[in-house]
Amino acid sequence: MPELITVGAAISPNLPWSDWQFGFWIHLLIFGIGIISLLLGSVIIFIWLERRLVGRFQRRLGPNRAGPLGLLQSVADVIKILTKEDIVPSRADKLIFWIAPIVAFTPVVLMLAVVPVADGALLADLNIGILFVIAISSITALGVFMAGWASYNKYSILSAMRTVAQLVSYEMPLILSMVGVVIIAGSLSLNDIVKTQTVPFIVLQPAGFFIFFIASLAEINRTPFDLLEADSELVAGYNIEYSGMKFATFYLTEYCEAIVLSTLAATIFLGGWQGPWLPPIVWLLLKIGIVFCFIVWIRSTLPRLRIDQVMGFAWKFLLPLAILNIFVTSIFVALWPETPAWLMGLTNLAILVAYILFWSKLFKPGGKAVAV
């Protein structure tokens, strides 16, 4: 069994401080502060970007009063929400009620530790990078359930249980969607996966990207899978009893999750930092922005699904498709390793289209509601 790479040994020799006496601590400090600062700064920018895009989709302007082009609107909202009164229900479990937002937010930051912004430029180049992301992301569900349970509110606990059920259901196809990439790249390290992509894996694995993207939307409770936190359903969800800074932490967590989803999609399927002419970090940010804009486009286009449709879609559609994608990819890699990229991509895309057409025939709209 190969020995796991430790964080200290994961510092790239290309970095200028790799040979210094305290190189590890300098590396940890630079990338730790950089990840947190970039993530929090990106949230404010992406909130403004989403509002502007949604405004355009709905044939209106969006925020345009606070600052040039409305750029300070997000800052004003941050100040407003942080100055709200922090109310704790009298019968709530005070300790768990306070810890839950931290438990939900911390894994989102940790997932970026294994994402490269250039060749070897990342906090920890683990050779189990994808497994690390999968394991850490599962902790968020614990924070959600803690919030619902500690609130001592029947609507909060109902929403928390439904949210956890959705997260667990969509973790299965989400994990399996990345197996095809791992088979082709021959590595679990995100840095190695990016360097392997002479052709972006979205070309070789369109079905894998489709499953990854849809399952990720459900994991972060984004439209059309956001019924669990809708105002018209269960009084806004598991965080109904939260206010002030604690509510802001949950709100921050959901936007950070959208940014992390865009980052992982860009890294695993779109070639990450690779690209001509521009610096690597610029290419990565451009790809993250494109994926995030696509998320906003979906939010402005599709209606919410019922909870039974959401659960059925995971187990009856995405999971079989993910298993089929692994099977087909394994055949190509094992039996025809020299297969041209265009042939593998076209085959994968044809299977995806055929599967969607076949599956759609099983559910015909009629006088009754369409069941999934």
Domain positions in the chain are 17-83, 86-360
CA distance 166 to 85: 31
Average pLDDT, the chain: 84
Over 60: is that where the pLDDT of 367 sits? Answer: no
Note the pLDDT of residue 22. 55
List pLDDT tens digits, range 66-93: 888 888 888 888 888 888 888 888 888 8
CA distance 82 to 157: 25
Over 60: is that where the pLDDT of 370 sits? Answer: no
Specify the higher pLDDT residue, 105 or 120.
105
List pLDDT tens digits, range 170-212: 999 999 999 999 999 888 889 889 989 888 999 999 999 999 9
Specify whether the CB–CB gap between 100 and 147 falls below 8 A: yes
Note the pLDDT of residue 9. 42
CA distance 3 to 164: 34
Note the pLDDT of residue 162. 86
Q: Dig out the tokens for 65 from the structure.
A: 């009063």
Task: List 118's β-bridge partners, or say none.
Answer: 121
Specify whether the CB–CB gap between 202 and 268 falls below 8 A: no
Number of H helices, E strands in the chain: 15, 0
Over 70: is that where the pLDDT of 295 sits? Answer: yes
Note the pLDDT of residue 337. 77
List pLDDT tens digits, range 2-51: 444 444 445 555 555 455 555 667 777 888 888 888 888 888 888 888 88
Mean of pLDDT values over 218-239: 76
Can you tell me whether residue 84 is helix, strand or coil?
coil
Over 60: is that where the pLDDT of 223 sits? Answer: yes
Hunting for tokens 């394994």 — which residue is that? 330
Specify whether the CB–CB gap between 231 and 152 falls below 8 A: no
Specify the higher pLDDT residue, 22 or 166.
166
Note the pLDDT of residue 129. 86
The amino acid that residue 363 corresponds to is F
Note the pLDDT of residue 206. 92
